[in-house]
Amino acid sequence: MEYGIAVDLGATNTRVAAGTAKGEFIARISERTNLFEGAEAVSLQVISMIWRLQNKAGLDPRDMVGIGVGAFGPQDPIRGGIVKPANAPYEFIPVRKPLEDAFKVPVEVYNDCVISVIGERFYGLGKNVDNIVYITISTGIGAGVYVDRRLLLGKDGNAHEIGHIVVDCEGRLVCGCGKRGHWEAYCSGRNIPNFAKLMIEAKNKFEDFMNSYLWKASNGSLNGITAKSVYDGAKLNDRLCIEIVENIGVLNAMGVASAINVYDPDLVTLGGAVTLNNVEHVLNPIKQHFKDYIVNREAEIAVTPLGDDIGLYGALAAAFRLHKNIP
């Protein structure tokens, strides 16, 4: 039986799965990514995981049709790998060539957001949709995009750094990239605590804070606030948390509306841990506010049904090169 190998190469965890062209996974394994023993160790780990997966699932190496990889960090499509990642001290992490040399099958490497929209297009809500934007709201915020059935890549495969769209012209918060006012600086999992703190300080809401769910959840410290505690509080109908979640939602609506204005999609799907853990509290405010900011005809907005596996689904589609054969 023919199978493809899907690799979700994250800065924290690496997941490897075998699956069919129909999008059915046969077997999978997951490990902490080894970023500490040199740039070459990363692909050696992936190679070893593929061997072990084949053994574990009794898969004949001759039936493997290809390997698809969704990788963290900026891509270098010429050399086929990750260039100057923020999470590791390497100039370049080779991915494509070591895998091709080890397995003698085609290897497709894309950044993790681009691979995810391939997953949505072939196995999720994007089947038969020509124009689709997938947005992940996770530690950071990023996107993958199809326009006119074409996967948009950019000169280095790093198109759609959508988390760095400006949503605050006052630039009150600094983004991880060093610039001010970016969407990700307010609404990503890593930065929601900064936005909550900003709202409490700027609006003199210390008394509200002391009476809020956040006070207990953060041990009475503004620096102890987490994204989880903000959404947990909103789910418990805590007034301050609801207000913060609503404000996050307005900024998310601006970001999604900007994507609609720029790409003119039929469909926008949302994923990433912040979305998947708080579906209603992320989706509803976006749906409520995005029309205030769009100029293009509105798009359908939904949470991806592929959940946390969307990158693996995309890598599986890429392993079968489905994205290269669009009618």
Q: Which spans of this chain sit near Zn ion (rule: CB under 5 A)?
A: 164, 175, 177, 179, 182
Given the complex with Zn ion, which of 182 and 323 has the nearer CB atom? Answer: 182
Residue 185 and residue 166 in contact, taking contact as beta carbons nearer than 8 Å: no
Matching residue, tokens 């760095």: 164
Given the complex with Zn ion, which of 96 and 182 has the nearer CB atom? Answer: 182
Residue 147 and residue 165 in contact, taking contact as beta carbons nearer than 8 Å: no
Matching residue, tokens 């609404």: 187
| Side chain identity, residue 159 | A
Given the complex with Zn ion, which of 80 and 142 has the nearer CB atom? Answer: 142
Given the complex with Zn ion, which of 65 and 166 has the nearer CB atom? Answer: 166
Residue 73 and residue 119 in contact, taking contact as beta carbons nearer than 8 Å: no
Q: In this chain, which residue has its C-beta nearest to Zn ion? A: 175
Whose CA is closest to 87, among 25, 13, 1, 146?
13
Closest separation in Å from C-beta 164 to Zn ion: 4
Closest separation in Å from C-beta 86 to Zn ion: 12
Closest separation in Å from C-beta 18 to Zn ion: 36
Instruction: Quote the Cα angle for 69-151-141, to 5°.
Output: 70
Rounded CA-CA distance 114/135 in Å is 10
Question: Token pair for residue 253?
Answer: 């609506």
Given the complex with Zn ion, which of 182 and 281 has the nearer CB atom? Answer: 182
Closest separation in Å from C-beta 195 to Zn ion: 14
In 3-state terms, what secondary structure has residue 212? coil
Residue 152 and residue 169 in contact, taking contact as beta carbons nearer than 8 Å: no
Closest separation in Å from C-beta 140 to Zn ion: 9
Closest separation in Å from C-beta 77 to Zn ion: 22
Other beta carbons within 10 Å of 154: 14
Given the complex with Zn ion, which of 23 and 163 has the nearer CB atom? Answer: 163
Closest separation in Å from C-beta 181 to Zn ion: 9
Closest separation in Å from C-beta 193 to Zn ion: 17
Rounded CA-CA distance 200/47 in Å is 49
Partners of 254 in the β-ladder: none
Pairing of strands 13-19, 3-9: antiparallel
Given the complex with Zn ion, which of 171 and 220 has the nearer CB atom? Answer: 171
Closest separation in Å from C-beta 251 to Zn ion: 13
Whose CA is closest to 67, among 101, 117, 41, 35?
101
Rounded CA-CA distance 78/156 in Å is 8
Given the complex with Zn ion, which of 164 and 287 has the nearer CB atom? Answer: 164
Question: Token pair for residue 92?
Answer: 């370049």
Sign of CA dihedral 107, 109, 115, 118: negative
Given the complex with Zn ion, which of 177 and 302 has the nearer CB atom? Answer: 177
